[in-house]
Structure 1
């Protein structure tokens, strides 16, 4: 179990660069996807029951001028895969992309395989890149004919660094823009207002205004449109103090608790104790005395039940208690990370917690 407390509110807040909390509208990555074959596997490919792998292999051989029947094809060394990649903004023809290769059938491992030439398409069904090359798998799987075996990591997914080449660019005239639109990664009205003020005061010849919680529009004067690259570079380096809602994130699966800096509570009293019940069962054998008449050997059950309850004191937290005070107080009564989940849910239900409670 892990408990993480972000106590930034007790120290001087540090700003973040504008480029780290927002992005420029239009300059974003696009997703590419393709279907292909991986060959050269050492008997760890798809089984004969994977019909689409057999059909794909037969179709590929037909295009290469080789006629083959589906019933005559073995695919133990071949695997059908899905290939995905990110086409970064301003990518040009000839640039290299990293690709992710994932098994689509029942292949046991892609280790040692080579991806054959695969077209990567966008959502508009246009081909933007071609991928091919040997696959790097950060794991392995080995098994014998009797079953069992050894497996490390996830051998049915691999990567090809620089395995795709951009063949088509996404048209985008950056220097023709008359207005820059800044999109916040985490929409917030206060943060958007701070960005507009910082941009307007630190950059001469431009004015900015927040149109909503997630968008800041930067109006450019005629003289500022000549070189937008220098302008955007200067905008990205502006320090902004982002604002955020008070939030507590709870993960009950792992016992992780994350508290933001603005978490506050009203005056509340907390008493928390654990009740544990331990039951031990054992069997005893009861035998009759030697030479006794009519006696029988029987098995009897012996149960031992122990009940224990922690004797924790009532804890009072004053109104407006900060995050640090809440943490110290809860640690004082020995609350474990997993117990914190129940405690914060109870405080939220009482109406004393002034923060958003998010359970993941």
Structure 2
């Protein structure tokens, strides 16, 4: 008996702690100013396909780049007629991570731009990757791993996944580094991924408390400025290595997100509803075609006539009666009640939209 009472007491003490929001590392809440990736793109050629490449009549740019590649390799194809089916023109994309050094490997994505049916088994030949400034920062080459399959016969074909796109893990090598003097920075800004004054204030307070003096200053809801010199750390890297692991409890905005296509509803725990009355019902229109075929008597002149016949009806299906929702009720309680009554997800979305339009739903309502 004493053991049961002790267990009940432990549950009562630990439950409020478990219900509190877990603190999050600063590195998972902010982006550091200047520490970002850069997009790369290139135009290349995939060879070695099993007859699933571009039709050169429909993709003349493939023939042009193939001729250019062969000429650079010492093969003169000027004026020659060639129609290979194992070559495809592709766009190669990659992301250059921050602080990537020359010689570092990065992953690339390869996508066909012509009428190629599949890139399975193909090999990307040397392709330079350019950044927005036009300079070459990496070179890609390697065997493509496509994420689909395709089969074609004389009368039918089947495709699973997307065989016209694939990836090359570590398929590019960094050739040029991004000029960024991170070690010489004296001030650094932390950009919140979800701007919020309360969260920014908590980040400022947590950083200053960890260092024991004023190091961070909140500039606005999405920016906290950090004085590197005031941290008294050997370098900005040492300062950020200490700051990014400080725990902060973020403030979450009350928000409801619905997806009308799939009927998905996602809501936060802080969503509240004011006192409101809700009623819901459905009208279903049913139309059924039942044509009648009228034929003439045997051996008599006449024609067979199809007489249309339509049965139409409107059915008033039972719905929710007028129900009152009390003040301060959480959205989870309302949704639980609607689920108990058997309300479909799409009808529930309409109810939530109507509650929001009435001003009783106190949350940001996002429809996708």
Normalised by the size of structure 1, how large is the TM-score? 0.89
Query: Residue in 2 aligned with 1:107?
Result: 116
CA offsets 1:233-257 (integer angstroms, 9 cap, x no match): 2211111122232221121121112
Structure 1 residue 78 displacement after superposition: 0.6
Deviations 1:223-277 (A, max 9, x none): 6241333321221111112223222112112111211222222111111122223
Relative contact order (C-alpha < 8 Å, sep 6+): which is higher? 1
- Is the 1:54–1:70 contact (alpha carbons within 8 Å) kept by the matching residues of 2? no
Of the candidates 167, 189, 193, which is equivalent to residue 197 of structure 2? Answer: 189
1:205–1:220: 8 Å Cα contact kept in structure 2?
Answer: no
Structure 2 CA distance for partners of 1:88 and 1:196, relative to 1, 3 Å: same
| Equivalent residue, structure 1, for 2:151 | 142
Measured at CA, do residues 160 and 288 of structure 1 come closer, stay the same or move farther in structure 2, by a change above 3 Å? closer
Distance 1:210 1:22 in 2: 13
Q: Which residue of 178, 203, 206 corresponds with 1:198?
A: 206
Calculate the aligned-residue CA RMSD, in Å. Answer: 2.5
Give the gaps of 5 or more residues in structure 2: 1-17
Distance 1:211 1:75, change over 3 A: farther
Compared CA separation, residues 273 and 71, structure 1 to 2 (3 A): farther
Q: Which range moved further: 235-244 or 198-207?
A: 198-207
Q: Deviations over 1:140-160 (max 9, x none)?
A: 11212x342121100000100
Aligned pairs, number = 349
The match for 1:331 is 339
Counterpart CA distance in 2 for 1:203 and 1:182 is 17
* Distance in structure 1 (CA, Å) of the matches to 2:136 and 2:268: 44
Distance 1:117 1:296 in 2: 72
Instruction: Report the CA distance shift for 1:22/1:70 in structure 2 as closer, same or farther (over 3 A).
Output: farther
8 Å CA contact 2:197, 2:221 repeated in 1? yes
Alignment correspondent of 2:96:
87
- In structure 1, the partner of 2:132 is 123
Deviation readout 1:85-123 (Å, 9 max, x if unpaired): 111111111111000001111111000100000101111
- Separation in 1, partners of 2:160, 2:304: 52
Could you tell me which of 83, 88, 91 is aligned with 1:74?
83
Q: Under a length normalisation based on structure 2, what TM-score does the superposition of the two structures give? A: 0.87
Alignment counterpart, residue 66 of structure 2, candidates 35, 54, 57: 57
Residue of 191, 211, 218 corresponding to 1:210: 218
Provide the secondary structure at the position in 2 that maps to 1:200: helix
Of 163, 168, 172 in structure 2, the residue corresponding to residue 155 of structure 1 is 163
1:185-213 superposed Cα distances (whole Å, 9 cap, x missing partner)? 11122211111111111223551111111
Structure 1: any 5+ residue segments left out of the alignment? 1-9
- Kindly indicate whether the alpha-carbon contact (under 8 Å) linking 2:148 and 2:163 is maintained by their aligned counterparts in 1: yes
State how far apart, in whole Å, the 2-side matches of 1:177 and 1:32 are.
26
The residue that corresponds to 1:44 in the other structure is 52
60, 84, 98: which one aligns with 2:107: 98
CA distance in 1, matches of 2:196, 2:359: 24
**Residue 195 of structure 2 corresponds to residue 168 of structure 1:** no
Q: Does 1:29 pair with 2:37?
A: yes
* Distance in 2 between residues matched to 1:251 and 1:223, nearest whole Å: 46
Higher deviation after alignment, 39-48 or 233-242: 233-242
Tell me: CA distance 1:285–1:123, structure 2 relative to 1, closer, same or farther (3 Å).
Answer: closer
